[in-house]
C-alpha cells in the first residue's frame, strides 16, 4: 500500500508537469489545425509553419516524459531531441531548395500569421513558466530560463522573419533559412558531443581501479 501512496514528485513538480502538458496540448492543437487548414488550401508556406509546431510538441513531450527519470534517460532523450532537430534542419533545407527552384513567396497574411502565432505562443509559455523562476530543480529552472529567453528571441526573430518573407527580394528569406538550418545542425552536434562526453565520463567512473 505504501508503494502506491508514495510519489517521486513534489507538489511543485506535479504543478510543473501539468503546465507542460497544457503547453503540449495548446501547441499540438495549433499544429493540427494549421496543418489541416494548409492542406485544404494547398498553401506550402502555411503547411511548413504547421509542421514546425509539431517539432515543438515533440520536444516539450520528450522533456515531460524524462522529467525525474535520471541521467541515463535524460541522455537518451537528448539524442531524441537531436534527431528531431536534424529532421527540422533537413526539412527547412528542402523547403528552401523548393522556394529557390519555384521562386514562390509567402502571402502577407501568411507571414503575418506566422509572426503572430510565434510571438503569442512564446508569451503564453513564458506566463505559464513564470511561477517557476525561483525553482530549485535544475531542469525546471532551465525550462523557465529557456522560456524567458525564447520570449525575447522569438519576438525579434518573428519580426525579422516577417520582414524577410515580405521583402521585394527573396535574398533575405534565403539567408534567414540558411541561418535556421545552421542553428539546427549546430545544436545537433552540440547535443551529441555532450552526450558522448557524459557517457565516456560514466564509463570511466564505473571502470575498476587498476
Q: What is the pLDDT of residues 91-138, one digit of tens each?
A: 889 888 988 888 878 788 888 898 899 899 989 989 988 888 777 666
**Phi/psi of residue 131, nearest 5 degrees:** -60, -30
C-alpha closest to that of 195 among 68, 67, 82, 64: 82
C-alpha closest to that of 48 among 62, 61, 64, 31: 31
* Domain map (residue ranges) of the chain: 10-203
Q: What is the pLDDT of residues 55-97, one digit of tens each?
A: 888 877 877 777 767 667 767 777 777 887 888 889 889 888 9
Q: What is the mean pLDDT of residues 175-197?
A: 83
C-alpha grid cell, residue 163? 520582414
Q: Tell me, what's the pLDDT at 1? A: 41
> pLDDT band at 192, cuts 50/70/90?
confident
Q: What is the pLDDT of residues 140-149, one digit of tens each?
A: 666 677 677 6
Amino acid at each position: 500500500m505504501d508503494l502506491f501512496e508514495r510519489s517521486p514528485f513534489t507538489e511543485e513538480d506535479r504543478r510543473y508537469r501539468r503546465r507542460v502538458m497544457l503547453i503540449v496540448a495548446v501547441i499540438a492543437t495549433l499544429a493540427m489545425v494549421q496543418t489541416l487548414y494548409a492542406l485544404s488550401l494547398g498553401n506550402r508556406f502555411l503547411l511548413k509553419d504547421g509542421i514546425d509546431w509539431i517539432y515543438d510538441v515533440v520536444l516539450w513531450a520528450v522533456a515531460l516524459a524524462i522529467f525525474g527519470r535520471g541521467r541515463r534517460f535524460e541522455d537518451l532523450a537528448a539524442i531524441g531531441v537531436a534527431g528531431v532537430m536534424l529532421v527540422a534542419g533537413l526539412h527547412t533545407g528542402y523547403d528552401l531548395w523548393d522556394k529557390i527552384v519555384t521562386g514562390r513567396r509567402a502571402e502577407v497574411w501568411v507571414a503575418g500569421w506566422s509572426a503572430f502565432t510565434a510571438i503569442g505562443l512564446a508569451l503564453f509559455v513564458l506566463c505559464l513558466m513564470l511561477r517557476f523562476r525561483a525553482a530549485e530543480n535544475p531542469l525546471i529552472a532551465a525550462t523557465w530560463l529557456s522560456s524567458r529567453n525564447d520570449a525575447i528571441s522569438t519576438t525579434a526573430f518573428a519580426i525579422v522573419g516577417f520582414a524577410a518573407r515580405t521583402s521585394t527580394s527573396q535574398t533575405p528569406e534565403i539567408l534567414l533559412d540558411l541561418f535556421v538550418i545552421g542553428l539546427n545542425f549546430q545544436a545537433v552536434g552540440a547535443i551529441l558531443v555532450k552526450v558522448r562526453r557524459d557517457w565516456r565520463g560514466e564509463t570511466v567512473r564505473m571502470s575498476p581501479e587498476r
